[in-house]
């Protein structure tokens, strides 16, 4: 079964994303901060990651850099999730190495469309 790693400091956001992905057939693991996400993804690379930008400690960009620096995670689809998409943010996210950029609140339809 395909494994996704959902990274968000908000438990309710993780739960929402988990529910959508599980209904779409994914096995979902969760991390509540960037450091845990890097440790988990390094130990067992997932097929997909959803990564919150606004997190205390390592933010999404810092976490992405740590992930992309590893050969096993260089091509993994990693989507940025953010509540504050400003003009230029999407371009900045893609330039940083995100696969795509998704804005909260995320609907089931938006998420599945982005992943298809």
DSSP H stretches of helix in the chain: 11-23, 34-43, 60-68, 89-96, 108-115
Rounded (to 5) percent helix, strand, coil in the chain:
45, 20, 35
- Distance of closest approach, residue 50 Cβ to Mg ion, in angstroms: 12
d(CA 9, CA 59): 10
Q: Min. distance of Cβ 9 from Mg ion in angstroms?
A: 4
Q: In this complex, which beta carbon is closest to Mg ion, that of residue 9 or of residue 89? A: 9
* Binding-site ranges for Mg ion (CB under 5 A): 9, 52, 54-55
Closer residue to Mg ion, CB minimum distance, 38 or 55 = 55
We find the least distance from the C-beta atom of residue 84 to Mg ion, in angstroms, to be 10
Is the Cβ of residue 24 or residue 59 nearer to Mg ion in the bound state?
59
């Amino acid at each position: 079964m395909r494994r996704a790693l959902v990274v968000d400091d908000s438990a309710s956001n993780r739960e929402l994303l988990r529910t959508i992905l599980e209904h779409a057939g994914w096995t979902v693991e969760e991390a509540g901060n960037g450091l845990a996400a890097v440790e988990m993804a390094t130990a067992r690379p997932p097929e997909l990651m959803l990564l919150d930008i606004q997190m205390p400690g390592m933010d999404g960009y810092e976490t992405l850099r740590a992930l992309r620096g590893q050969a096993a995670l260089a091509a993994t689809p990693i989507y940025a999730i953010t509540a504050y998409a400003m003009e230029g943010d999407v371009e900045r996210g893609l330039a940083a190495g995100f696969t795509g950029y998704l804005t909260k609140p995320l609907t089931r339809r938006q998420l599945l469309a982005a992943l298809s």
